[in-house]
Amino acid sequence: MARPVHDGAQALMFSYRIRLGNVLQAARTSQLRIQAEQHFDEIRLFLDPGGLVAGIGERADRLTTNLGLTPSDLASGAVRAIPLVAWHAEPPLPGAAGGWSGGITLVLPAGTELGVSPGSMPPQPALRLRFPNDTEVEVGGRGATPLARHVMRGMAPVLLDGIPMLALSQPQHASLKLNWTEDMRSAVVNILGIVSPYRRRGQDALYHIMEVIGDRVVGGSSLQVRA
């Protein structure tokens, strides 16, 4: 089993709560950007967008941990040591609203070969897909969900221990369109960070969280994580 890189290193979890928008802000849309000036792979970041993003659960991958996270863990605002995290990822539940929908299953017997046509070019006899074993292929698709309104980059919907979140897959450049209403011009979001003990000492991470309207940065905060 791998050991922490330096003595005393522990797995950590933190939550970072911050208010986005402003009750006096006139703009009805803005963009949340997260940009890492420094990042190390031993941090996994998740965004709890509060009430700003609907429909996360409809097409979210499922990610479970041995922590048994609850919403109160996210809201605590605290930094705390946690056990070494065991991650288990699963695709969305079949038939979930807006998620995977299909019903057709193709059975490809062992030895099946398929020709491949790149673009509109005629089939090239040399390019084949061969299935050495019996294979089942499900044919279906994902329906449109409210998530499409948010034009996400570098983040993906996930149910983390059942809690709808957005996993930051590219914290170097992640963004999300926010839609404000007359009744909601401001909201609190929470960034959950889970830090592996297998990190190098002295390697800090620095994330800039920005609000952008048009091409103008109108708000920001920075989060530094010291290893």
Partner 1 sequence: MALTTEVSGNLLLIKDPNETLVTTLPNGSHTIDWVAAYNTFRTVFGDDYDFVGFFIDVASGMPNDLGAASYPVFNDITGIGVNPFDNRASYSSAKLRGISWYGQATLSGVVLVQMTELLHELGHYWLAYVNYKDSSGTTQTLLHQDWVWSPGQQNAHWGRWPDKANSSMGYDEAQWIDNGNGTWDRYQRDDTQAVDDAWFGYWSLEQYLMGLVPASATPSNIIQNPNPTVPSVWPPVHSTTGPYTPTPNAAQITVAMVQAEEGVRNPDYMSSQRVFHQGFVIITKSTAAASSNPFVATCEGWRAAHALNFRSKVSGQAMLDTSLLRGNYSDLYVKDNDADTGTGLSSGVFWLSPDLWVRNSQDGGTTNQETIRGQDNFIYVRIRNKGAQPYDNVSVNVYLANFDNRALPGTQFLYPPDWNPAGLIGNISVGTVPTATAGGDGTVVVNVRWPTSQIPPATGWHPCLLCEVIPMETTPSGLQQVWQNKKLAQRNITII
Only segment of 14-22, 57-65, 150-158, 167-175 that touches partner 1 (CB under 8 A): 14-22
Q: How far is CA 221 from CA 24, 52, 180, 207, in A?
A: 19, 18, 20, 8
**Which residue is it, tokens 């002295």?**
202
Closest contact distance (angstroms) between CB of 56 and partner 1 is 22
CB 15 within 8 A of CB 190: yes
Q: Under rule CB under 8 A, which residues in 132-191 are in contact with partner 1?
A: 186, 188
Binds partner 1 by CB under 8 A, chosen from 42, 48, 58, 211:
211
Closest contact distance (angstroms) between CB of 93 and partner 1 is 33
Residue among 79 and 127 whose Cβ is closer to partner 1: 79
Q: How many residues bind to partner 1 according to rule CB under 8 A? A: 33
Binds partner 1 by CB under 8 A, chosen from 54, 67, 156, 218:
218
Binding of partner 1 at residue 74 (CB under 8 A)?
no
Closest contact distance (angstroms) between CB of 17 and partner 1 is 5
Residue among 145 and 190 whose Cβ is closer to partner 1: 190
Residue 164 CA, chain-centre distance (Å), reads 10
Residue among 11 and 60 whose Cβ is closer to partner 1: 11
Contact residues for partner 1 (CB under 8 A)?
14, 16-22, 24-26, 75-79, 186, 188, 193, 208-211, 217-226
